[in-house]
Amino acid sequence: MNRLVGVELSHQKAPLAIREKISLKNEDLTGALLGLKKKMSEVFIISTCNRLSVYALTDNINPIFDFYREFGPLDPYLSVFEHDVQAARHLFSTASGLESQALGEHEILGQIKKDYAKAQEAKCIGPVTDELIRRAISVGKKVRQETAIGQYPVSLASVSYDVLKDIHHDFKDKSVLVIGTGEMANLMLKIISKKPFANLYIASKSFHRAQSMEHLYSGKAVSFEDINDLLPKVDIIIGATHSDAYVLKKEDLASLNNSITLVDIGLPRNFDPEIKILKNAKLFDLDDLKSLTEKGIQRRHEEIPKAMDIIADGIEEFSYWLNTRQVSPLIASYYEKLETIREEELKWALPKLGKLDENQQKIIENLISRVTRRVSGKPIEKLREFSQEPHSEQNPIDTFKELFDL
């Protein structure tokens, strides 16, 4: 019998070296979907840098294990959800950001929508996975709307931006200098470039790299040698290089007339810690930022019980839909049989009643319909109840009594 299952390899069990090997590009994702669809009724795959998840409606989970084994001996890193509710609960929790490295992050919801569209395009989605994914997305949105799980910053880049926002409030007339072109610098530039700053400068030891990022972030490239010349013109400086020596020292800022806010996310430190002594400078280093990050993480953790309540409600509704769906064909068949009996009995009875006017004939037809509905009402109601809590060990006589309310 087909059931809903899920198998996942993620950051929770697998190290980065393993996760790197299984990230699927668009064409690979489509190929994987089509390959699995040949062996199961419905299939959906989520592929991100931190997880590869397969959800399927199937009577045999082994093809999913075989799919992962194509990448290597990955069984020890797999999380398996073998039954309907387990699989649904994990997907709902994932969509809500509870399974992410950064608890409560928003990006996973967008990724699920994107991969859902890809699976639809490949014609791998069926009625059960369609309902599952739609409800997961709905639950994920509700968690973010009704809890604060995604509101407190937990990444260095987002915490850094919040620090700057708390100090400056409005950035429209502020000039910003980002020193560095690596991963952390890029994360900061992605955030900053979306805000209305007056000027954005990008400095790098490799002037060519800084130039390559000018158009990407609507900034202006400057060479390392020109950083000191910019100091009187900027309000905010972000350090994100791996330089072994301080990029800015206390004496570089001491003679300035303008106030500057500095955020140091470089490792080793980019800015001389003695800068904190200066009255015209505010310096935030990794220790300052990490303490704020930990506070954000703690606050998000405090929101988990609220999120779990929303997920539990979603699971209850999905389980009811799934269980009721299993008896729907039986109910439809029962109604068809009753309708056939009704028509047969009318054909037998009406000719024997002699000539009836239209009103009398309608009364007879309505009478039989009313009797049919009343007789079928309790069995249908009980059948739906049985679908939620199967009475597998109940005596057939007791079942008969329950069905017909005897």
pLDDT in tens, 279-290: 999 999 999 998
Q: How confident is the model at residue 387 (pLDDT cuts 50, 70, 90)?
A: low
Residue 153: CB atoms within 10 A of its CB come to: 23
Question: Binning pLDDT at 50, 70 and 90, where does residue 406 land?
Answer: low
Check pLDDT > 80 for residue 153: no
Overall average pLDDT of the 89-115 stretch: 92
Model confidence at 397, pLDDT cuts 50, 70, 90, reads low
Q: List, in order of start, the domains of the chain with CATH numbers.
A: 3-150 (3.30.460.30), 156-299 (3.40.50.720), 330-403 (no CATH)
pLDDT at 92: 98
> What does the mean pLDDT of the chain come to?
89
Q: What is the pLDDT of residues 4-57, one digit of tens each?
A: 999 999 989 998 888 878 878 778 999 999 999 999 999 999 998 889 999 999
Q: How far is CA 152 from CA 144, 147, 156, 292, 308, in A?
A: 12, 11, 12, 10, 18
pLDDT at 396 over 60: no
How many degrees, rounded to 5, is the angle at CA 251 between CA 246 and CA 256?
Answer: 120
Predicted pLDDT of residue 23: 77
Grade residue 390 by pLDDT with cuts at 50, 70 and 90. Answer: low
Token reading at 282: 């505010």
CB atoms within 10 A of CB 287: 10
Share of residues in the chain with pLDDT > 90 (%) = 59
- Stronger pLDDT, 385 or 346, i.e. the higher one: 346
Label residue 122 by pLDDT band (50, 70, 90). very high
The terminus-to-terminus CA distance of the chain in angstroms comes to 33
Q: How confident is the model at residue 152 (pLDDT cuts 50, 70, 90)?
A: confident
Measured between alpha carbons, how far is 89 from 74 in angstroms, rounded to an integer? 23
Which pLDDT belongs to residue 405? Answer: 59
Give residue 402's pLDDT: 63
DSSP state of 356: -
Q: What is the pLDDT of residue 338?
A: 83
Residue 329 pLDDT = 74
Least confident piece of the model among 12-16, 83-87, 142-146, 271-275: 12-16
Q: Select from 178, 183, 182, 160 the least CA-distant residue to 293.
A: 160
pLDDT at 403 over 80: no
Q: Tell me the pLDDT tens digit for each residue of 359-377.
A: 998 898 888 888 888 877 7
pLDDT 10s digits, 313-332: 999 999 988 888 777 777 77
Gap between the Cα atoms of 265 and 276, Å rounded:
15
The answer to whether residues 200 and 176 touch, using CB atoms and an 8 Å cutoff, is yes
* Cβ atoms within 10 Å, residue 227: 18
Q: Say whether pLDDT at 391 is over 80.
A: no
pLDDT attached to residue 139: 98
The CA distance from 127 to 256, in Å, is: 66
What is the pLDDT confidence band of residue 388, given thresholds at 50, 70 and 90? low
Closest CA relative to residue 94, chosen from 84, 80, 104, 82: 104
Residue 137, helix vs strand vs coil: helix
